[in-house]
């Protein structure tokens, strides 16, 4: 065979091989899609920024190597089940939830899509995990240890106001973490000889009526148990306790910055960084069932000294010394 014919056949053979190889390479490139994270959030979009930063710390940047599917309830908690079902229909790679109501909605929507919850009050009492060490099923995340936190709130406000006798406790019976938290609050109150006044609040629309009850029943302090209903109404809560001249404490460090007396809560950046770590591991192949639920290790105490002075309170120096931030 002539050398020219050999070269021609080799070239044709090479083209044929390339014709097979190139489509395969193209298909492989197309199939390498960036992961999609479904976001099920009861609160306004601005509260997601800490989660975005947590993921960025692990190298995930929106539009580059991760995509988000956002579903905001905007405080309308009854919309969460349908929003969760929508994320499942989209077949996202993982769903991240904030607060018990969103987590339970996601849990009811899927038993297969991984779910990472953030700021879950009590995942054990809520029935979303089998144990903190080995969650089981398709959920893991971070807990706020709401029972322990709420008991600590009782101790802190009593320390700030030694004369405190009757404490109004606002809680949400639709929050699966609140029943055990309320028990812890009552136990802490009994130990401090406090009269407790539990008041149910299922929605922000019920707050004004509840505020009227607090004034009418003459409580001399207020505790807001952590819940999305209260988070979206922080300004209203702060305005009420300021105008009514009532010392108050909440599980949100934003509360004293808006005029309330005390905020005591886990470090928000830490919470979201832990959640981002779980998401990172899941996207790399880990199973939620094998990832322990993270408990808070760092807490932030914020005290509004200006509010204390307006209430005529002289706060104990030891309490002020423990504060991470004092607003003057």
238 plus 209 within the same structural domain: yes
pLDDT at 131: 95
Identify whether 5 is part of a domain.
no
59 plus 121 within the same structural domain: yes
Identify whether 317 is part of a domain.
yes
pLDDT at 9: 52
Backbone torsions φ then ψ of 117, nearest 5 degrees: -95, 150
Q: H helices then E strands: how many in the chain? A: 13, 12
For the cut 70, the answer to whether the pLDDT of residue 12 exceeds it is no
pLDDT tens per residue across span 143-197: 999 999 999 999 999 999 999 999 999 999 999 999 999 999 999 999 999 999 9
122 plus 185 within the same structural domain: no
Range of the domain at 239: 146-266+300-327
Confidence of residue 43 (pLDDT cuts 50, 70, 90): confident
Identify whether 21 is part of a domain.
no
Count: domains in the chain: 2
pLDDT at 46: 75
User: Average of pLDDT values for 67-76?
Assistant: 92
Residue 72: helix, strand or coil by DSSP? strand
DSSP E strands, the chain: 36-41, 67-72, 94-98, 115-120, 139-143, 166-171, 195-200, 221-224, 248-250, 262-266, 299-304, 325-327
318 plus 205 within the same structural domain: yes
pLDDT at 26: 43
For the cut 80, the answer to whether the pLDDT of residue 35 exceeds it is yes
How long a stretch of residues is the chain?
328
CATH at 178: 3.40.50.2300
172 plus 282 within the same structural domain: no
For the cut 60, the answer to whether the pLDDT of residue 100 exceeds it is yes
259 plus 194 within the same structural domain: yes
283 plus 233 within the same structural domain: no
pLDDT at 25: 43
pLDDT tens per residue across span 15-27: 444 444 444 444 4
134 plus 213 within the same structural domain: no
Confidence of residue 29 (pLDDT cuts 50, 70, 90): very low
Angle, helices 207-216/234-243, rounded to nearest 10 degrees? 20
Confidence of residue 1 (pLDDT cuts 50, 70, 90): low
For the cut 80, the answer to whether the pLDDT of residue 256 exceeds it is yes
Identify whether 183 is part of a domain.
yes
Identify whether 244 is part of a domain.
yes
Confidence of residue 33 (pLDDT cuts 50, 70, 90): confident
Identify whether 122 is part of a domain.
yes
pLDDT at 132: 96
Identify whether 8 is part of a domain.
no
For the cut 90, the answer to whether the pLDDT of residue 324 exceeds it is yes
User: Average of pLDDT values for 99-107?
Assistant: 94
DSSP per-residue codes, 263-320: EEEE-HHHHHHHHHHHHHHHHTT--GGGSPPBPP--EEEEEEHHHHHHTT----HHHH
Prediction pTM value? 0.85
Angle, helices 80-89/99-109, rounded to nearest 10 degrees? 50
Q: What are the residues whose beta carbons fall under 8 Å from the beta carbon of 22, sequence distance 6 or more?
A: none
Q: How far apart are CA 18 and CA 12, in angstroms?
A: 10
Average pLDDT across the chain, whole number: 91
63 plus 45 within the same structural domain: yes
Confidence of residue 6 (pLDDT cuts 50, 70, 90): very low
211 plus 276 within the same structural domain: no
Confidence of residue 5 (pLDDT cuts 50, 70, 90): low
Identify whether 84 is part of a domain.
yes
248 plus 277 within the same structural domain: no
Task: Say what percent of the chain tops pLDDT 70.
Answer: 90
169 plus 255 within the same structural domain: yes
pLDDT at 22: 46
């Amino acid at each position: 065979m002539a050398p020219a014919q050999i070269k021609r056949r080799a070239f044709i053979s090479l083209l044929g091989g390339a014709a097979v190889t190139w489509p395969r390479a193209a298909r492989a490139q197309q199939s390498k899609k960036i992961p999609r994270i479904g976001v099920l959030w009861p609160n306004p979009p601005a509260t997601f920024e800490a989660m975005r930063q947590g993921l960025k710390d692990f190298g995930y940047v929106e539009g580059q190597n991760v995509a988000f599917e956002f579903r905001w309830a905007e405080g309308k908690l009854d919309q969460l089940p349908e929003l969760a079902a929508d994320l499942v229909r989209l077949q996202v790679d993982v769903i991240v939830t904030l607060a018990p109501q969103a987590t339970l909605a996601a849990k009811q929507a899927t038993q297969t899509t991984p779910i990472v919850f953030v700021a879950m009050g009590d995942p054990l009492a809520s029935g979303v995990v089998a144990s903190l060490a080995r969650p089981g099923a398709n959920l893991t995340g971070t807990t706020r240890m709401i029972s322990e936190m709420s008991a600590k709130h009782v101790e802190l406000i009593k320390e700030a106001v030694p004369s405190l006798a009757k404490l109004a406790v606002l809680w949400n019976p639709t929050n699966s973490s609140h029943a055990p938290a309320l028990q812890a609050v009552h136990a802490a109150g009994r130990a401090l000889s406090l009269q407790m006044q539990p008041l149910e609040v299922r929605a922000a629309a019920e707050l004004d009526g509840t505020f009227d009850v607090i004034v009418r029943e003459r409580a001399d302090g207020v505790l807001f148990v952590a819940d999305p209903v209260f988070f979206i109404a922080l300004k209203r809560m702060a305005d009420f306790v300021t105008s009514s001249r009532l010392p108050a404490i909440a599980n949100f460090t934003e509360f004293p910055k808006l005029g309330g007396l005390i905020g005591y809560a886990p470090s928000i950046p830490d919470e979201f960084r832990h959640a981002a770590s779980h998401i990172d591991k899941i996207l790399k192949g880990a199973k939620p069932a094998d990832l322990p639920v993270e408990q808070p290790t760092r807490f932030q105490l914020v005290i509004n000294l200006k509010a204390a002075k307006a209430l005529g309170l002289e706060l104990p120096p030891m309490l002020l010394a423990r504060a991470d931030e004092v607003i003057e």
